[in-house]
Structure 1
Amino acid sequence: MTSHTTTLIGTPDEDPDNPLLDAALAAAARGWPVFPLVPGGKAPEVRDWERRATTDPDRIRRCWTHGPYNIGLATGPAGLVVVDLDAAKPGDVRPAGTDLDGVAHGSEVLAMLANDSGNTLPPTRTVATPSGGLHLYFTAPAELEYRNTQGRLGWHIDTRAHGGYVVAAGSVVHGRTYQVTEDLPVVDLPAWLAERLRPAPSRPPVPPARLQAPGKRGRYLAAAIAAEVARVEGAASGERNGALYMAAQNLGQLVAGGELTEQEVRDVLMHAAAGYIAVNPSRIFKAEGTITSGLRAGARRPRKVAA
Structure 2
Amino acid sequence: MHPTAPDHSSSAHAQALRSALTATTHGLAVIPLSRTKLPAVRSPHRDEPKPQPCRGECGHLGHGVHDATTDPDAVRALFEAAPWATGYGIACGRPPHHLVGVDLDVKHGQDGPAALAGLARLHGFEIPDTVTVLTPSGGQHRWFSSPADARIPNSVGRIAPGIDIRGPGGYLVGPGSLTTAGRYALAADSPGLPAAPVPEQLLHLVLPPTPRPLSRPGRTAGTSGRTATGLIRFVLDATPAGKDGTGRNDRLYWAACRAYETGGPDADGIAAALVDAAVHVGLPEREALATVASAARRTRRSSR
What is the TM-score of this pair, normalised by structure 2?
Answer: 0.66
The Cα offsets for residues 115-135 of structure 1, whole Å up to 9 and x where unpaired, read as 455543221111111111100
Larger radius of gyration: 1
> What residue identity is the alignment partner of 1:21?
L
Match of 1:114, SS state, is: helix
Tell me the distance in 1 between the aligned counterparts of 2:164 and 2:257: 33
The Cα offsets for residues 192-249 of structure 1, whole Å up to 9 and x where unpaired, read as 3223334333469899999xxxxxxxxxxx8xx97xx78x949974425435434655
**Taking every aligned residue pair, what percent have the same amino acid on both sides?**
31
Q: Point out the more displaced range, 126-135 or 182-191.
A: 182-191
1:54 to 55, 69, 80: 69
After TM superposition, give the deviation of residue 168 of structure 1 in Å.
1.4
What's the counterpart of residue 199 of structure 2?
190
Q: Determine if the alignment matches structure 1 residue 265 to structure 2 residue 282.
A: no
- The residue correspondences of 1:1-307 to structure 2 (distance < 5 A) are 18-37=14-33, 39-45=34-40, 46=43, 48-66=63-81, 67-69=83-85, 70-77=87-94, 79-89=98-108, 92=109, 105-115=111-121, 117=123, 119-174=125-180, 176-181=182-187, 182-185=189-192, 186-202=195-211, 233=234, 237-239=244-246, 241-246=249-254, 248-249=256-257, 264-268=266-270, 277=278, 279-280=280-281, 282=283, 286-303=287-304
Query: Is 1:249–1:295's contact at 8 Å kept on the other side of the alignment?
Result: yes
Task: Decide whether aligned partners of structure 1 residues 168 and 204 sit closer, same or farther in structure 2, where only a CA change above 3 A counts.
Answer: farther
Query: Is 1:207–1:268's contact at 8 Å kept on the other side of the alignment?
Result: no
After TM superposition, give the deviation of residue 87 of structure 1 in Å.
1.0
> What residue identity is the alignment partner of 1:61?
R
- Give ranges in structure 1 of 5+ residues lacking alignment: 1-14, 93-103, 211-221
**Could you say what the CA RMSD is over the residues aligned between the two structures, in angstroms?**
4.1
The Cα offsets for residues 239-269 of structure 1, whole Å up to 9 and x where unpaired, read as 25435434655776x69xxxx85x5434456
Tell me the distance in 2 between the aligned counterparts of 1:283 and 1:242: 14
- Give ranges in structure 2 of 5+ residues lacking alignment: 1-10, 44-61, 239-243
Task: Decide whether aligned partners of structure 1 residues 68 and 122 sit closer, same or farther in structure 2, where only a CA change above 3 A counts.
Answer: same
Match of 1:109, SS state, is: helix
Task: Decide whether aligned partners of structure 1 residues 293 and 32 sit closer, same or farther in structure 2, where only a CA change above 3 A counts.
Answer: same
Tell me the distance in 2 between the aligned counterparts of 1:117 and 1:233: 29
What is the TM-score of this pair, normalised by structure 1?
Answer: 0.65
